[in-house]
A and B are shown apart, each in its own frame.
Chain A
């Protein structure tokens, strides 16, 4: 598993800034589409794993994901942690199984020695999430869609342990309901392509 972590992170940072600018443009362009791209979309694993990637074979993280032609960038999933692989000072790789599939997730932990104060702080906060991710724990994971070795992967921004036993089922229903009442209803954007 070779990842150019630090390099990637700086890149991600830049992307984020660009996106922030992009965001405002998008708001004017296509509200529906932006609304989803701007939102942590709640998807079941099977749905998430079958998102369209474009360009389909690009090696870097600039891949964009779409569902029914509607671009997505952030997702929220709820499920049981079934795999956990911690590389200290580097990353935590884990998988979240929600019963319909298993979503690979990555939590970056490589900013401990960053010269940026803000980054170090982020690292401190991210380190707290490591404690939450335990095998068998039901977690709510939010993050950004990314690609690793050609497959979709969630770059985790936050993890919350779900204590409510009804949370998982509620999430399923939420996903079904949102898909029915929102995601499937939005018309695919006609003109928007960056």
Chain B
């Protein structure tokens, strides 16, 4: 024996001077199995005892005392003097309860330990049996229970398999006895136990009921280990946990098991083999390594495998271990069995761990996520004097001795944070741990750990729940997708130029504004963010909105969302059978119901049968909601009538029908073509004596399941909704639903479809239409017969209007464009509400579609003068100057009082620069709905306000002036030369008088994009002339479009545009000329002339004069102007100015940009200029 000369020392001696050291029986064998020293250079190497030393003692399983004082489940080594926790390499079950000689070992003392075990961990590197005859057996049979009966009952089973995974020890409170031996006790016992998964052989031999011990001596090649079996080591067998953990991959036979159905929860049951008193574990002597090396197969998608590596670092209470290089082991699972020996420098073999490649863009790491199945076995002990994980922790100073043993499961295991952490994917857990760690550092000494970690709010019955969790966890491990990978795709950069990031989910969005984020940022890099702002959209809007919109009907559920829309009285009718063979899905049932209800109200039984049949025929399988939607649309409008019938009906009803083609966007980006009739349901003008064509305002209520649809809605776009007579606006023209509230509500739920709609005008469409019609008349179309032809026929117009991407696209002849445009404009103008009627549709089709729209792309130009403003939702921050009712303003006397409150806000918009602009925020919001304390003087941020003016808004004009002022020179008017060069100049001036103002109704040219779109309204200002002065002199400034509108302060007075629009509707074009000039007075005499021939009523004239007056008492503008040549001026003067005025001798400029003066910034510049001298 090489250790014959070695001194035998006792554990008591070791514990007497508790210093970490290593020892070996012979000098030569030192470090023979410890890792090379260079593995850990930063740590001191364990000092070796000067002389060869051995320990002689017994290796035992831990005795598990009843909880809660559950100590570590380490193996024990005891000699006559003491007992220590130990861990050993080259474990053999045969060594249990036998005397062994430990010839090479490390001793790492604990500063303190639990009650029954002395202070230290013995790491057994080399050992052998004291009696060489021990361990020589080819087969070891070890009773699992302490008092094993050794009676192989007939009803017990044996299994032959390879240990695959071992779960943690858990304790189940039960009323039964812990073991059959004390059945009579009947007391409440907390039954410890753990689950072991084995992969068993299903061959006939192995399935036989005989004891399978002999199988172990056979080669495993004769067996096929495929069937997963769970063995529940409970009661005293639970002390086998450390031993079984070391036997992962080892082929065993367990005999004397009972097969039971175990209910792990009330619902979940699992067939398990449960150890009983007579259970015996049989292990072959030759250890076959069955663990496949998975390293080469790592994909990093959460797959389970084994990893062996050197511990490089231990962090965060042992919850994060760095292995090798860039491999991070996360031991956050609350049920993970604690163990000693996770020291820096040791080589660990981690089994059944999840490999996650988080794909962080800045670094390549692999995360090993430990779960309930994970086991860690030390392959080689650390040669360095690193402390055990348990000791590196401040938290360990608490009095709870249990915590000392559960080295690496200290923190949030039972707190809410722990729960939360464990609910996360592994890559996110790493971040949470880092965050928690940062918090702990930051708030150390200020807040207690409990407060930081949230364990103050421990879940009730955590013990039981967590222990059940262990059982459930292992059984359902694979179902739950334990190693799922985090997808971070919901964090999106909205716009690099705004430095905003947005996190969106179904409840709302969070905008994060990072002012110093470089514009050139790369999302794949990491940036240090020092300053940021979080903008949170309020959640719970639906309730507010419903209140706000006055729809307090009981039907509106909490999760509804509301949309205001204008209803246009058009019905889309399909003249023939659908071209689209759409199958139907679940929502078809609802369509059917809708149809039924329409049909019953139509009292057209003949047709109803037919249609229902049709639907039934169409029912087949489809997963695509949109397709079914289209189906709903087309099937509902199915009619077997001939066009002649249509015509008859049309003429009877005096409706005008427009033939058109409709395309539906379907999945493969193909367009299905279908002829249709767009029917205006408003009476033709000359036949209507008492009713004006009108649009109707409706409220669309989106139920929560249609939230996605709601999100996709765009303000200003057109949509088409299928509806039936039961819908509120579908029953009759004078329906009661509209009655008092003058608005209707339409529920858009899962049974109702809404599609985006666009209009395309085409010159040649009439040809296509006629071709189509003839084809249709001659031959009733079959499902796919005509389809392809017409796809070819259909023009893909050169301009590819934006509407092409809409769900539904209407192709209309260009000749109809103006007519439709006028029609719609009238509808918008008349803000009284009327809507699509379907009473007549009984003859044609039971179910009609109504256009719900906002004017935008359809009829060419953008108009905000209709019911609803359009624009982008913005956030605005600033100081509230005052809140007032618009009705009490200047226009109170002449307007019939739009009773809305307006906020006047002076604020900084979007930029951090320090100039002020005035912003009016208007809305039908009652003062009382603002938060408490809201009023003039507060700084407030408004979210989701609509920037009602697209281009020329004075919100945007600030930016324009910024840009402009860089390229142009600022000067005083008296410094202007008589004839300006082409250089642009910036004047800071006031409007003193208005010489000329020409306002006209905007051209309704549908195709041409109107660039001169003043304030996005119906009105246009082709020319205006102002007298500007800046204190040094005055000049004549010519302006048009939005520049003129801004100088007139039209954008500041919302009601003004409205009134102007109304006046222009009658008079088309208005010219206002100054009659005389009083230079010091805004009270000028003006001549107003109109082109309509009708006289302007005095109130309208007053409005125009008020507009001019208002312009003359405005603030200071920055006007970017360019020079005008004399001839130009002369012509303008000749055409527009009265004789009394002579501006030729004045300086004339042409306004290029107009914006509010940036007072503060300009004052700063000015003082710098003044100080220079």
Q: What is the interface of chain A, defined by CB distance below 8 A to chain B?
A: 16-17, 20, 23-24, 27-28, 32, 35-36, 38-42, 73-74, 76, 118, 121-122, 125, 128, 142-144, 157-158, 160, 163-164, 166-167, 169-170, 173-174, 176-178, 180-183
Contact = CB atoms under 8 A, between A and B. Distances in A.
Contacts of B890: 128
Nearest to B1085: A118
B1118 to A, nearest CB: 13
5 contacts: A20-B1077, A27-B1145, A38-B1079, A157-B1082, A170-B1166
Interface stretch (B326-334, B504-512, B895-903, B1157-1165): B1157-1165
A164 B1159 contact: yes
Which of B1031, B1032, B1078, B1115 has the largest number of chain A CB atoms within 10 A? B1031
B1080 A142 contact: yes
Nearest to A24: B1142
B223 interface: no
Contacts of B881: 163
Contact of A178 (B1032, B1078, B1081, B1085): B1032
Given A163-B906, A180-B1170, A183-B1032, 17 more contacts: A39-B1029, A39-B1031, A39-B1032, A39-B1033, A74-B1079, A121-B1083, A125-B1082, A125-B1109, A158-B1113, A160-B1115, A164-B916, A166-B1160, A173-B1166, A174-B1166, A178-B1031, A182-B974, A182-B1031
A32 B976 CA distance: 12
Given A142-B1080, A177-B1169, A170 B1033 contact: no
Contacts of B1105: 121
Nearest to B1144: A27
Contacts of B1032: 35-36, 39, 178, 181-183
B972 interface: yes
A4 B1048 CA distance: 36
Nearest to A13: B1078
A86 B992 CA distance: 26
A60 to B, nearest CB: 18
A188 B510 CA distance: 65
Interface string B546-577: 00000000000000000000000000000000
Nearest to B1165: A173
A36 B973 CA distance: 11
Contacts of B1029: 39-40
Interface residues of B, number: 43
Given A158-B1113, A181-B972, A173 B1033 contact: no
A84 to B, nearest CB: 19
Given A157-B1080, A173-B1166, A176-B1170, A35 B974 contact: yes
Interface of B: 881, 890, 904, 906, 916, 918, 972, 974-975, 990, 992, 1029, 1031-1034, 1076-1083, 1085, 1105, 1109, 1112-1115, 1140, 1142, 1145, 1159-1160, 1162-1163, 1166-1167, 1169-1170, 1173
B1166 A16 contact: no
Nearest to A128: B890
A41 B1031 contact: yes
A122 to B, nearest CB: 4
A86 B1078 CA distance: 26
A166 B1163 contact: yes
Contact of B1163 (A122, A158, A170): A170
A24 to B, nearest CB: 6
A20 B1078 contact: yes
A107 to B, nearest CB: 12
A74 B1082 CA distance: 13
A193 B366 CA distance: 94
B1165 to A, nearest CB: 9
Nearest to A169: B1163
Given A40-B1029, A41-B1031, A181-B972, A144 B1166 contact: no
A174 B1140 CA distance: 32
B937 to A, nearest CB: 11
A174 B1077 CA distance: 26
B1076 A20 contact: yes
Given A157-B1080, A157-B1082, A177 B1112 contact: no
A166 B1159 contact: yes
A40 B388 CA distance: 87
Contact of A74 (B904, B906, B975, B1080): B1080
Contacts of B1163: 166, 169-170, 173
Contacts of B1077: 20, 23
Contacts of A176: 1170
Contacts of B1160: 166, 170
B1082 to A, nearest CB: 5
Given A125-B1109, A170-B1163, A40 B1080 contact: yes
B1079 A173 contact: no
A-B pairs, 5 with minimum CB distance: A42-B1031, A35-B1033, A122-B1083, A182-B1032, A166-B1159
Contacts of B904: 163
A118 B1079 CA distance: 16
Contacts of A40: 990, 992, 1029, 1031, 1080
A157 B1166 contact: no
Given A23-B1079, A160-B1115, A180-B1170, A166 B1033 contact: no
A173 B1170 contact: yes
Contacts of A158: 1081-1082, 1112-1113
Contacts of B906: 163-164
A126 to B, nearest CB: 8
A141 to B, nearest CB: 11
Contacts of A118: 1083, 1085
B1159 A170 contact: yes
Given A36-B1033, A40-B1029, A173-B1163, A16 B1112 contact: no
Nearest to B1109: A125
A31 to B, nearest CB: 8
Contacts of A16: 1078, 1081
A62 to B, nearest CB: 16
B1145 A28 contact: yes
Nearest to B882: A163
Contacts of A163: 881, 904, 906, 918
A38 B1082 contact: no
Contacts of A166: 916, 1159-1160, 1163
A15 to B, nearest CB: 11
A160 B972 contact: no
A37 B630 CA distance: 73
Contacts of A183: 1032
Contacts of A144: 1080
Contacts of B1162: 170
A182 B974 CA distance: 8
A39 B918 CA distance: 26
A36 to B, nearest CB: 7
A125 B1083 contact: yes
A115 B374 CA distance: 101
A144 B1079 CA distance: 10
Contacts of A121: 1083, 1105
A152 B1031 CA distance: 19
A73 B881 CA distance: 34
Contacts of A23: 1077, 1079
A143 B1169 CA distance: 29
Contacts of A167: 1159
Contacts of A24: 1142, 1145
A69 to B, nearest CB: 17
A27 B1146 CA distance: 9
A181 B1030 CA distance: 13
A13 to B, nearest CB: 9
Nearest to A111: B1083
Contacts of A157: 1080-1083
Contact of B1080 (A143, A169, A178): A143
A23 B1170 CA distance: 33
A32 B1077 CA distance: 20
